[in-house]
Amino acid sequence: MRTYTIILESDMEEGGYTVTVPALPGCITQGETVEQCIERAREAIEGFIESLKADGEAIPEEMEPPQMLKVHVAA
């Protein structure tokens, strides 16, 4: 069993959320609700890992959850 952090970002144009997995670059999905995003993220991660296995590539593990910080800039 592996654990990965997912990031949900509001999709202002389409509605819902875009979901990314920082530890698995390129693993992206979307959903209308948080619950749907979680389910789709699980499916996307499982598919991504299966693809890595099929290609003989290493499966990245999340060693430390990513940090989110805000930076203020003059605009």
Q: If pLDDT is split at 50, 70 and 90, which confidence band does 25 have?
A: very high
Model confidence at 61, in pLDDT bands (50, 70, 90)?
Answer: very high
Is residue 75 pLDDT above 90, yes or no? no
Question: What's the distance, Cα to Cα, between the start and end of the chain in Å?
Answer: 45
Which CATH number does 1-75 carry? 3.30.160.250
How many angstroms separate the CA atoms of 22 and 28, rounded? 9
Q: For the chain, give every domain's residue range.
A: 1-75
Q: What is the pTM of this model?
A: 0.87
Instruction: Copy the structure tokens of residue 19.
Output: 């979901």
Dmax over CA atoms of the chain, in Å, equals: 47
Tell me: pLDDT of 13 over 90. no
